Each structure stands twice: as structure tokens, then as C-alpha cells.
Structure 1
Amino acid sequence: MSANDRGTIKWVSLMLPEHVQMLNEMWEEDEYKEKPILDEQKIMEIDASLQCAIHNDLTVAIKFFENRSYHTAKGKILKIDSLNKTLQLRNQEETKVSLYNVIDVFID
């Protein structure tokens, strides 16, 4: 709670429920993250890490952007579908990640 919230909390009891809902949605949108734009060098680094991991059967941690937030999936690469631009990981459940959403790859 910040100093600016005091004014909002004070007046919420006098607002219509629709206005309170609209304010809550607005505050949630403030929490949304933006997908970073990767430069050519970072894309090549991700590609090299993926190739190394798939050829040597290594475990990777993939950081990706989805649903306005950052996520991490860990496992071994099952396959890379270049036609659909997806990556499939073998972990507890098989995770599919769009290659467009991959932000970073860490080899464990």
C-alpha cells in the first residue's frame, strides 16, 4: 500500500461496484509485463544453446514470455518443430513453448 492508495481507499465505499471493478482491472493492467525485444546476437545465442542441448541430450531451463508474464520450464528437449515454431520439453508433463516467446535458455 502506498501513500497514494489512501485517497482511493477512502472513496471506494462511495463508488459504484462497476467503478471499483474498473479500478481493479486498471491496477491489474499496471502489473502486466512486456515481452522484451531480442537482438540478433541473443537470438543466435539461444539457437546455439538449443542445438547444443538437443545434440548432447542436456537438461535446460527455458525462460519464456506467456500471458503477460515470465515463466520458466525445465527439462530435456524432446523436439523442435521448425514448421510450427514450437519447442517441446520432456519434464513431469510435456511442455510446449512457442519459439517466438523464448527469452533465454540455460543449460544445467
Structure 2
Amino acid sequence: MNKLTPGSNMMWESSRMMLPEHVQRIREHQKEMLKKTKPILDEQQKLDIGFKLQCALHNDLTVEIKHFDDGHYLTAKGKLIKLDTNKINLDIGKEVKLDNVLDVYID
């Protein structure tokens, strides 16, 4: 089919090309659509996480921390260096806010 074919719609032929700004905005929109909301933990889950972190810190165990960051669920695996009231420092150079921790797995 070409532009001379009866029934073709020349009005929309130029819409095949997109400006770079439009492509960038479409990609940003797709990333926003993949974002998740942060779950709310109850007190029992928070106590369980605290117990696991204390146990791993005192026994020098490797932990895998599932945490929330900017709309995504991430994991970080390593040994605890420092456990603060606001953050957790791992030996891999990762720092995780304690409020963003969703679960802790001990190896």
C-alpha cells in the first residue's frame, strides 16, 4: 500500500516518526508504571527483623536483606558491619535504611 492507493490515510503517515523527547517520556512513563508501593509491616514482623539482625551481628553471619528503594524491591547480601537505629551498613559497601527493610534472611 502506498500514498496513491485509494483508502490510504495520508494524515497519519507522519506519525511514524517520534521526537526524542517523546521517546524519553514514554520510557519514563513505563518505569513509573513498574513502581510498587511500600508495604506496611506490623509489629511482629518488625520484631522478627530486629531479632534476625541482632543475631546476625553478634554471630557474624551473612544476611540477605530484602528492602524497598524508590518503588522497587531490592536485595543486598553481606555481613553486617554496623547496626544503627536508622540504618544498616553491610561489608559490601551498601547502606540500607532500617525503615525500608522488608525481610531478613540468614545464611
Seq. identity, %: 51
Map of 2:104 onto structure 1: 105
Quote how far apart the aligned CAs of 1:16 are. Answer: 5.7
Quote how far apart the aligned CAs of 1:54 are. Answer: 0.9
| Aligned partner letter, 1:65 | F
Q: 2:21, 2:82 → 1: CA distance?
A: 47
With normalisation by structure 2, the TM-score equals 0.75
Map of 2:89 onto structure 1: 88
Is the partner of 1:35 in helix, strand or coil? coil
| Aligned partner letter, 1:97 | V
Gaps in structure 2 of 5+ consecutive residues: 1-13
Map of 1:55 onto structure 2: 58
**1:45 is the counterpart of 2:51:** no
Map of 2:26 onto structure 1: 23
- Structure 1 segments, 4+ long, off by >6 Å, are none
Map of 2:8 onto structure 1: none
Q: Which structure is larger by alpha-carbon Rg, 1 or 2?
A: 2
Is the partner of 1:100 in helix, strand or coil? helix
In structure 2, relative to structure 1, the CA distance for the partners of 1:18 and 1:40 (3 Å cut) is same
